[in-house]
Chains A and B, each alone.
Chain A
Amino acid sequence: MGAYLLRRLLIALPSLLGISLILFTVLAMAPGDPFSEMATNPNVPPEVREALRASFGLNDPIMVRYLRWLSNMVQGDWGFSFASRINVDRLILQRVPTTLFVVGSSQILALCIALPVGIYAATRPYSIFDQVANTLAFVGFSLPTFFTGLLLILIFSVWLDWFPFVYRSDLAATGWRWYWEMFRQAIMPITVLGLFQAASYTRYVRSAVLDVIRLDYVTTARAKGLGEKTVTLRHITRNALIPVVTLVALQMPAVFGGAIVTEQIFRIPGIGSLLIDAILANDTPVIMAVTFVFACLVVLFNLIADILYGWLDPRISFS
């Protein structure tokens, strides 16, 4: 197991290196520069703009810039943002808790819906409940989050006036009031993300349970005279959930990516909106850092999925 982990981590290194090289080159070749806003301002002499470009090292060849970035990165220096002139790691750390809170809660919500609905629907295939659940699931993952987000804003903020649609990271309230305000502002983005995930998870859970439910050992369990509840929970669900667990782990990076749009709509100060702002401002160090964090997440969660799979299913060996 230890050897396997080591091997996987060693394989991950070159792929991360490759990802960073491609990212850097694409960004360097992409048009635009961080000082475009100064271009139309006659108060900023062109020489100042040039001096800034030089001092930020933007005039060096791509490879030189990449190697400089890489050697700094290895030493733990993530560089500083061109837009706010503060260190990138500080910027990202400021944003991570919010993203984790929103993405985490939406995942919990998604599982809370998908597991019972999926299992119940699979135990009664083609019943009315199953049909309704299926239809809703299809609708759910066909609707993109930017659409449902705007829809919820229109209904609950503009028409009904129940919830605010601007998310604030530092609420002015304390105690119970803080929790209430937090609930009010977080419910819409979490619902949007959670329902979207729940829709696809429901489908997976249902098909995984359907696969297992016809197997002989389930019939045996029933023949032993076990109650329906015990059979479903202890015998069916435990085995059916093995693929679901790995799937959830594999989906995590995609969820972070999907949260970018939701963060933008609800003005949630997470790393997704940081990425969007950085792209709009051509703030290369921040774009590099955030995309690199996403790349690391993908590699990491892939590894976690593999390990979890082996741990849940003893038939798989890591040798």
Chain B
Amino acid sequence: MKDQELGHLIARVKEGALSRRSFIKKAAAVGLAAPFANQLLAFNGVAMANATLPYKPTKAGGGGPLKMLLWQAPTLLNPHFASGTKDQIASRIFFEPLAGWDKEGNLIPQLAAEIPTKANGGLSADGKEVIWKIKPGVKWHDGKPLTADDVVFTWEYAADPATAAYTTGAYTGIKVEKVNELTVKVIFKEPTPFWADAFVGVTGQILPKHHFGEYKGAKSREAPANLKPVGTGPYKFVDFKPGDILTGERNTEYHIANQPHFDTIEVKGGGDAVSAARAVLQTGEYDYAWNLQVEDEVLKRMETGGRGKISAVVSGDIEFIILNTTDPWTEVDGERSSVKTKHPTLSDPAVRQAINLLIDRDSIQKFIYGRGGIATASFVNQPAMFKSNKLKYEFNVDKANKILDDAGYKKGADGIREKDGKKLKYVYQTSINAPRQKTQAIIKQACQRAGIDLELKSVTASVFFSSDVANPDTYTKLYVDMEMYTTTQPQPDPERFLNQFTSWEVANKENKWLGRNVSRYSDPAADEAYKAAQKELDVAKRAALLIKVNEIFCEANVILPLLSRTRVAASLNNLSHDHSGWDVDTWNLAAWYRS
């Protein structure tokens, strides 16, 4: 389908001559995925479809208690201090952002009256300004009204480095102005195509100025409201024991009619993922359990009891392998894997291509991850408009053998290939986690059949993911030939996520290995495309540029994506819930109900 034709169709939807649904159908017929079609419509000023839960109850309250089980217990309730998902989930019960992300990556207004678009004047043509209109009539739990002052204050609070907020990245480099009591303007220094970061989703929860006003900056830790939150959310705070239990009661003044359904909420923490799944699926003690990184086989067995169900939603988590093109075994200027060195064999594209052919992604999905992951060859998979359709994966040992033969790697007496005395022997590292060790074993076996010898190494997660400068086993040091882990694309826009494919982010000694480009690989074409994408305001062109960055790295076989991970949760059969891979599980808690 040509651009013109699409434009024509979009115009018909706008006029009302064509329904959204038939537009999406027509778009699907020519290979455009539904979310992409939705984005096209949104960009052209047609309101987004809502992928959230249809809410059935006709009055607020009366649903009894809602009991959630988080196997990692929440430890604090200030959303801007929340380092882990557990804390973000807990604080989202009481605090809300201007807008949240649904499971398809659509922006849904929460404290905003509407989503800013070009059509409603919310987005400026130069991409430097966003105007948010706040929903009128929203009250804090103590009865005071929500105003633009609170939103502006939230920016001041999080942007102040002395506050030490984890969300500060979204607020530094922007300016927020109050336009009137219910309108704020966000001003960017540069044209910013992805503007939905400050005040949106996980990082965007609005704080009441009258409770946190005195505790901005260095005094942030002393605010009583850190542990006794006063927000706008569907439930009011009752009691909190850090690391143990959190209770709340229904907010009778909630700003959405007939919500929420439950009278009280209880969030219990602690234990492990398997027994959390058991408490929902087998004994039914709890209504909902989150983030069940449990082997699918185990979950299936528990589901046979018929009490509960598993739901999996797509997310931005990607499990992938890095092939190190620098030399991890030679030290230069006090660091190994320096970009000044070249890997003796992995710098050869043929070897990398062969290894990519030796990964049996389908088996890894089928036998290890089940519903927990979808095999993929693309680093960015969600939302669908950013997924590369060009990248395909294949498992073919013969082809890998042929490529290595052609490249001049001959099998030695021990069955391991070598060329010029350099053997294809690699150390393959990952964190300790049962599915990862099984994946390692599957890949090792296939590599053996092609004359490549892999030495498997696994590191405790707390060491692997730490930023300890002195430890050689952290994932950013990459003192190995191959490394595997999961990284997270936090928003449904991959721009910031893809900065790990740029040359200025390469992790090295100078930046204490805090650079985001762990692979150390760089390509001027990728840098250029990334920089262009940062300024491109046309949605389709920008997506194409970001897809290019992704393809350059995947086609070079430096990044070998394995699985696009899903977020798995368990709930009782009678609970209707709505969790999203782009926001925390409780992002739409007000709409949960029991039937």
Interface residues of A (CB under 8 A from B): 31-33, 35-46, 48-52, 55, 80-81, 83-86, 91, 94-95, 153, 157-158, 161, 164-166, 168-170, 172, 264-265, 267, 269, 273-274, 277, 280-282
Is B76 an interface position by the 8 A CB rule?
yes
Asked, given contacts A31-B471, A50-B514, A85-B226, whether A158 binds B282 with beta carbons under 8 Å apart, the answer is yes
A50 to chain B, nearest CB (A): 7
The residue on A at minimum CB distance from B170 is A43
Question: Are B511 and A46 in contact, CB atoms less than 8 angstroms apart?
Answer: yes
A84–B244 alpha-carbon span in the complex (Å): 12
Asked, given contacts A35-B467, A46-B514, whether A91 binds B496 with beta carbons under 8 Å apart, the answer is no
Provide the residues of chain B in CB contact with A265, threshold 8 Å: 271, 275
Task: Pick from A41, A84, A269: contact of B245, CB below 8 A.
Answer: A269
> Which 10 A-B pairs give the minimum distances between C-beta atoms?
A46-B514, A269-B244, A84-B75, A32-B462, A84-B242, A31-B463, A267-B270, A83-B75, A36-B466, A84-B76
A43–B499 alpha-carbon span in the complex (Å): 11
Question: Are B466 and A31 in contact, CB atoms less than 8 angstroms apart?
Answer: yes
Is B188 an interface position by the 8 A CB rule?
no
20 contacts between A and B (CB under 8 A): A31-B466, A33-B466, A35-B83, A38-B83, A43-B203, A43-B490, A48-B164, A94-B241, A95-B244, A158-B278, A165-B283, A166-B69, A166-B271, A267-B270, A269-B241, A269-B270, A274-B243, A277-B73, A277-B75, A277-B243
Provide the residues of chain A in CB contact with B227, threshold 8 Å: 86
Is B286 an interface position by the 8 A CB rule?
yes
Question: Are B243 and A40 in contact, CB atoms less than 8 angstroms apart?
Answer: no
Task: Pick from B75, B271, B285: contact of A81, CB below 8 A.
Answer: B75
B419 to chain A, nearest CB (A): 36
A158–B153 alpha-carbon span in the complex (Å): 50
Is B329 an interface position by the 8 A CB rule?
no
Question: Are B161 and A31 in contact, CB atoms less than 8 angstroms apart?
Answer: no
A153–B83 alpha-carbon span in the complex (Å): 32
Provide the residues of chain A in CB contact with B471, threshold 8 Å: 31
B587 to chain A, nearest CB (A): 16
Is B65 an interface position by the 8 A CB rule?
yes
Number of interface residues of B (CB under 8 A): 69
Asked, given contacts A84-B75, A267-B271, whether A280 binds B462 with beta carbons under 8 Å apart, the answer is yes
Question: Are B75 and A157 in contact, CB atoms less than 8 angstroms apart?
Answer: no
A86–B247 alpha-carbon span in the complex (Å): 18
A42–B431 alpha-carbon span in the complex (Å): 19
Provide the residues of chain B in CB contact with A45, threshold 8 Å: 168-169, 172
Question: Are B243 and A165 in contact, CB atoms less than 8 angstroms apart?
Answer: no
Asked, given contacts A36-B462, A273-B270, whether A85 binds B81 with beta carbons under 8 Å apart, the answer is yes
A220–B203 alpha-carbon span in the complex (Å): 82
Is B528 an interface position by the 8 A CB rule?
no
Apart from A35-B467, A83-B243: 9 A-B pairs, beta carbons within 8 A: A31-B460, A40-B485, A42-B516, A43-B203, A45-B172, A48-B161, A153-B275, A264-B270, A273-B270
Question: Are B500 and A42 in contact, CB atoms less than 8 angstroms apart?
Answer: yes
Is B565 an interface position by the 8 A CB rule?
no
B102 to chain A, nearest CB (A): 19
Is B438 an interface position by the 8 A CB rule?
no
Contact with A along B267-300 (1 / 0, CB 8 A): 0111100010011001101100000000000000
Question: Are B514 and A49 in contact, CB atoms less than 8 angstroms apart?
Answer: yes
Kindly identify, within residues 226 to 244 of chain B, every residue whose CB is under 8 Å from any CB belonging to chain A: 226-227, 239, 241-244
Contact with A along B54-94 (1 / 0, CB 8 A): 00000000000100010001011010010110000000000
Is B221 an interface position by the 8 A CB rule?
yes
Interface centre among A40, A51, A170 (most CB of B within 10 A): A40
A172–B266 alpha-carbon span in the complex (Å): 10
A36–B467 alpha-carbon span in the complex (Å): 6
The residue on B at minimum CB distance from A45 is B169
Asked, given contacts A31-B471, A48-B168, A170-B239, whether A39 binds B69 with beta carbons under 8 Å apart, the answer is no
A138 to chain B, nearest CB (A): 29
Provide the residues of chain B in CB contact with A84, threshold 8 Å: 75-76, 242-243
A42–B516 alpha-carbon span in the complex (Å): 8
Question: Are B245 and A169 in contact, CB atoms less than 8 angstroms apart?
Answer: yes
A178 to chain B, nearest CB (A): 15
The residue on B at minimum CB distance from A278 is B243
A42–B73 alpha-carbon span in the complex (Å): 23
Kindly identify, within residues 465 to 520 of chain B, every residue whose CB is under 8 Å from any CB belonging to chain A: 465-468, 471, 473, 475-476, 485-491, 496-497, 499-500, 511-512, 514-516
A269–B270 alpha-carbon span in the complex (Å): 8
Question: Are B468 and A33 in contact, CB atoms less than 8 angstroms apart?
Answer: yes
Is B166 an interface position by the 8 A CB rule?
yes
Question: Are B164 and A32 in contact, CB atoms less than 8 angstroms apart?
Answer: no
Provide the residues of chain A in CB contact with B242, threshold 8 Å: 81, 83-84, 86, 91, 94
Is B205 an interface position by the 8 A CB rule?
no
Question: Are B283 and A158 in contact, CB atoms less than 8 angstroms apart?
Answer: yes
Is B167 an interface position by the 8 A CB rule?
yes
Task: Pick from B166, B486, B497, B515: contact of A38, CB below 8 A.
Answer: B166
Question: Are B465 and A40 in contact, CB atoms less than 8 angstroms apart?
Answer: yes
A22–B449 alpha-carbon span in the complex (Å): 50
A308–B486 alpha-carbon span in the complex (Å): 57
A204–B486 alpha-carbon span in the complex (Å): 52
Provide the residues of chain B in CB contact with A274, threshold 8 Å: 243
Provide the residues of chain B in CB contact with A166, threshold 8 Å: 69, 268, 271, 279, 285-286
A169–B244 alpha-carbon span in the complex (Å): 8
Question: Are B285 and A164 in contact, CB atoms less than 8 angstroms apart?
Answer: yes
Provide the residues of chain A in CB contact with B75, threshold 8 Å: 81, 83-84, 277, 281
